Structure 1
Amino acid sequence: MVEFVGRRNELRMLDRELNKVAAGAGGQRPGRCVMLRGRRRVGKSRLVEQFAERSGVPFLFYAATGASPTADLERFASDAQSSTLPLAHVVSAARPATWDAAFDVLAASLPHDRVSVVVMDEVPYLMDAAGAFEGVLQRAWDRALEAKPVLLVLIGSDLSMMEALNSYGRPFHQRGREMVLGPLNPAEVGGMLGLAEPADAFDAALITGGLPLICAEWPHGAGMWDFLGTALNDPVSALLVSAERSLAAEFPQQAQARTVLSAIGTGERTFSNIARAAGGIGATPLQRSLGLLSEKRVIAAELPLSTRPSKDRRYRVADPYLRFWLKHLGPAMQEIERGRGDLTLQRIRTNWTSWRGRAVEPLVREALARLLPDANLPAAPAIGGYWTRTNDVEIDIVGADRAPIAKDLLFVGSVKWLENSPFDSHDLAALHRHRAALTPEPVPTVAVSRSGTACTGPDAAYGPAELLAAWPS
């Protein structure tokens, strides 16, 4: 059993919702609904199972498969039979043939004098373009389920479909509270893995993406290279197989989108370069694939943050683990499967410093967004980067009042994430030159360094320890 770590805020949120159900018991509509979404393998199901088991109340945990409507309804009856609901046998004995009937018998079996929890996992498998299941769910909730002291938790990994479930004009609109579960943050990763150095926690977060199943395979206190050496010698390790399984579930029939994603994962960031790396794909199908990948939150499409409009959009893989896998592991799977993970490990060692330098930038920006304001810098509603089409000017950190076209720039910064090379006067001079190309205003400068700052002049400086404090334990 994988150790359950972190998630205190999320557990407290679910506890509060259950307490509201308990407080409303005896009223006309005590039921409440939570719609939980998050990328695959971030631990949504495990979180809710932990919550339900700790609550001590009767609960039903149902997981849709998407195989067929008949198979999903049979699974519902089977999961009900193994639940702790006092009248679970009513659902299993009825063997409902439609979701209308399934929700009717579920409502009849729920206790009316005590709180219970009903969990429906992978709800997007049950949804269809016509919205038929959503309509059935809405009617069941309004007519029967909300009248019971029940907390209904709807879980889904397809982020766009889960957002649509609660969107305006859809049947279930405003009937539940939305909740988003992200991966374990760098502080939680470091704590789970027993890593004493904050810099090591960031390295581990970049490799594992904060996915609990991958973190669980990392021996407590082990170094990054030791972990990679072991994982690359095990073709079924979570580090190797999690990405492929997620992609297969996310894009079962979109081979072209997978090709485009692989091009971005290898480091291509511009539209034209992605097109070439994807085999000369045409502009229209490329735009379609990029739209699909963006809609599913697999990639981030970013514009330079400045006071001037720009069309120089760049793309990156949003999930750190998937970004690591696409660059280093996916292309080497045949090599790893024939027992030569040592060759893969050597390539990772060779490319690690340059890959990590760019990969860590989104985490740095997120940390600053959480930390500020502080004694040196104001809060920034938007934190991004700036670049020109020719890359002659590139600024890692830009804080502004809004994005992508700012009215006011608040600070600019540079990230130097090297093992034994601190941020020095040469780095500061380069930052000043690039700032002058962005704005004539002397906005504050920020130095972010893995190895400290060896110069005076930056208005603010942050290292791994200061950044990790953005995620309090």
Structure 2
Amino acid sequence: MVDFVGRRDELATLERELRKVASGVGGERSGRCVMLRGRRRVGKSRLVERFAENSGVPFLFYAAVGASAEDDLTRLARDAQASNLPLAHLLTSAQPQNWDAAFDVLAAALPDDQPSVLVVDEVPYLMDDDGAFEGMLQRAWDRALETKPVLLILIGSDLSMMEALNSYGRPFHQRGREMVLGPLNPAEVGRMLDLEPAEAFDAALVTGGLPLICVDWPRGAGLWDFLEEALNDPVSPLLVSAERSLAAEFPPKAQPRNVLSAIGSGERSFTNIARAAGGIAATSLQRSLEVLVDKRIVAVDLPLSTRPSKERRYRVVDSYLRFWLHLVGPYIGEIERGRGDLTLARIRANWTSWRGRAVEPLIREALARLLPDDALPEAPAVGGYWTRNNSVEIDIVGADRAPVAKELRFVGSVKWLERSPFDQHDLVALHRHRAALTDEPVPVLAVSRSGVDCSGLDAAYGPADLLGAWQA
């Protein structure tokens, strides 16, 4: 089905884990655990549902709601009743009052003579500050669940909390295999939507590779056709997905939410973010940034060079959320009044400048995947370089490590315009900025949406070349 383009590897991983469980039926400890994390609306629950439905074994899919313990346990009994576990009725009749008791009943409900799948979705909703739930989960796994032929799948959208679940010193440490589900990559988006390479990058930037939004994009449709339709539909996934994700992370007036909006508006430096967030105090801003970085919503970039630098730049990691915060979210009111045409006109006016900055992280990731090749060496670190006043900016810097490199491998420039190739003027500017970064004659490269119209480059890449980074 279209919503599972690009998920073959993840399905195969879960199937392998279930086969290992099946091969251990009758053994002393045949249970296995997978801890699946990924940002909200990336398709984690649907992936696991699809896997469980196709597995051919009994399964229970439980989704925590983040309410009281009583409500969560009531929901567990209800989900058990809807499952196909042969002894699921035990949960309904036992009515456990805490998770210790619930895990005991769950273990009793799992079959001994055949494999089964037990899914707990949104585990971070159940985790508490004192680690009580993690302790109960660890005891239940060690004493009962691991002795059953069960594949336990723990799912969570709070990336930092899911990482903590398996970290050293925590009760559940090393009891499960970690698995990360990312968004669809540009090649998968292009294949799903039947788009040419350049258009596939546009779609990846606007949708963030979120399957829910990609499914709403008509196959073969261009960016502007999609946006015109989406902006005239107040319940379009393009409009509502970001707000729902943010509401799940932050209360509407929470300070980190205001800081995120400032970064999404295009501000990247600490000072400018503070100003855009309404003159927030430095200590408050620092705390908010720490929350956003800890949740993997915001990334901190440093200039990549052989010299240390404190010139931090902040960016929203998810390109869809970045697009929404800058060009859609502030104008939801006019869209709801039926004036999506005004929002579309504003996006058209800002598209070239927004896209030019937004595509850079994708290009750096593609180069890191592609290299080495016939023209350029391997670069374990691919980043950018800038000075405090931005008098020198280099879009691409390849090096042996980051953020302070021992050796620079190459420098490059990105020119991502429809009808303007990389030309001699761009090459001269790149050489000038390279001289400000290093005295070494490191290779120079160009990444251009519309080709190259000059000589003197060591390498050049276009949209099709970059898309190959995810197709190998």
TM superposition score category, shorter chain reference: over 0.9
- Alpha-carbon separation, structure 2, partners of 1:253 and 1:285: 17
Q: Deviations over 1:32-84 (max 9, x none)?
A: 00000000000000011111111111110000001110000000011111111
Alignment check: 8 A CA contact 2:227 2:344 kept: yes
Q: Deviations over 1:412-464 (max 9, x none)?
A: 11100000111111111111111111010011111100001111111111000
Counterpart in 1 of 2:23? 23
User: Partner of 1:301: helix, strand, or coil?
Assistant: strand
1:212 matched to 2:218? The reply is: no
**Partner AA of 2:98 in structure 1:** T
Alignment check: 8 A CA contact 2:385 2:393 kept: yes
Counterpart in 2 of 1:4? 4
Q: Deviations over 1:202-238 (max 9, x none)?
A: 0000000011111111111111101100110111110
Counterpart in 2 of 1:299? 298
Q: Deviations over 1:360-380 (max 9, x none)?
A: 000000111111111111111
Which region of structure 1 is more displaced relative to structure 2, 456-465 or 131-140?
Answer: 456-465
Counterpart in 2 of 1:126? 126
- Alpha-carbon separation, structure 2, partners of 1:426 and 1:172: 57
Counterpart in 2 of 1:409? 408
The 5-angstrom pairing of residues 343-382 of structure 1 reads: 343-382=342-381
User: Partner of 2:470: helix, strand, or coil?
Assistant: coil
Counterpart in 1 of 2:85? 85
- Alpha-carbon separation, structure 2, partners of 1:253 and 1:62: 28
**Partner AA of 2:51 in structure 1:** F
**Partner AA of 2:349 in structure 1:** T
1:35 matched to 2:35? The reply is: yes
User: Partner of 1:469: helix, strand, or coil?
Assistant: helix
- Alpha-carbon separation, structure 1, partners of 2:366 and 2:85: 43
**Partner AA of 1:65 in structure 2:** V
**Partner AA of 1:215 in structure 2:** C
- Alpha-carbon separation, structure 2, partners of 1:256 and 1:265: 14
**Partner AA of 1:348 in structure 2:** I
User: Partner of 1:155: helix, strand, or coil?
Assistant: strand
1:149 matched to 2:140? The reply is: no
- Alpha-carbon separation, structure 2, partners of 1:462 and 1:324: 25
- Alpha-carbon separation, structure 2, partners of 1:365 and 1:428: 19
The 5-angstrom pairing of residues 4-403 of structure 1 reads: 4-195=4-195, 197-252=196-251, 255-403=254-402
User: Partner of 2:379: helix, strand, or coil?
Assistant: coil
- Alpha-carbon separation, structure 2, partners of 1:90 and 1:254: 43
Alignment check: 8 A CA contact 1:300 1:317 kept: yes
**Partner AA of 1:321 in structure 2:** Y
TM-score by length of 2: 0.99
User: Partner of 1:101: helix, strand, or coil?
Assistant: helix
Counterpart in 1 of 2:452? 453
Paired residues, number? 472
Alignment check: 8 A CA contact 1:398 1:412 kept: yes
TM-score by length of 1: 0.98
**Partner AA of 2:127 in structure 1:** M
Which region of structure 1 is more displaced relative to structure 2, 372-381 or 124-133?
Answer: 372-381
Q: Deviations over 1:260-293 (max 9, x none)?
A: 1111001000000001111100000000000000
Alignment check: 8 A CA contact 1:423 1:453 kept: yes
Alignment check: 8 A CA contact 1:208 1:321 kept: yes
- Alpha-carbon separation, structure 2, partners of 1:376 and 1:52: 45
Pairwise CA distance, 1:3: 3.6
Pairwise CA distance, 1:5: 2.1
- Alpha-carbon separation, structure 1, partners of 2:94 and 2:458: 69
Alignment check: 8 A CA contact 1:21 1:151 kept: yes
**Partner AA of 1:87 in structure 2:** L
Pairwise CA distance, 1:254: 6.1
Structure 1 spans left out of the alignment, 5+ residues: none
**Partner AA of 2:296 in structure 1:** R
**Partner AA of 2:443 in structure 1:** P
CA distance change for structure 1 residues 2 and 241 in 2, over 3 Å: closer, same or farther?
A: farther
Counterpart in 2 of 1:420? 419
- Alpha-carbon separation, structure 2, partners of 1:53 and 1:69: 28
Pairwise CA distance, 1:183: 0.5
Identical-residue share of aligned pairs (%): 78
Alignment check: 8 A CA contact 1:263 1:278 kept: yes
- Alpha-carbon separation, structure 2, partners of 1:422 and 1:380: 25
Pairwise CA distance, 1:4: 2.8
Which region of structure 1 is more displaced relative to structure 2, 17-26 or 150-159?
Answer: 17-26
- Root mean square deviation of aligned Cα: 1.1
Pairwise CA distance, 1:2: 7.0
- Alpha-carbon separation, structure 2, partners of 1:28 and 1:103: 19
Q: Deviations over 1:71-129 (max 9, x none)?
A: 00000011111111111111222121111111101101111111100000000000000
Which region of structure 1 is more displaced relative to structure 2, 22-31 or 310-319?
Answer: 22-31
Moved over 3 A (4+): none
Alignment check: 8 A CA contact 2:6 2:184 kept: yes
- Alpha-carbon separation, structure 2, partners of 1:53 and 1:6: 19
- Alpha-carbon separation, structure 2, partners of 1:442 and 1:86: 70
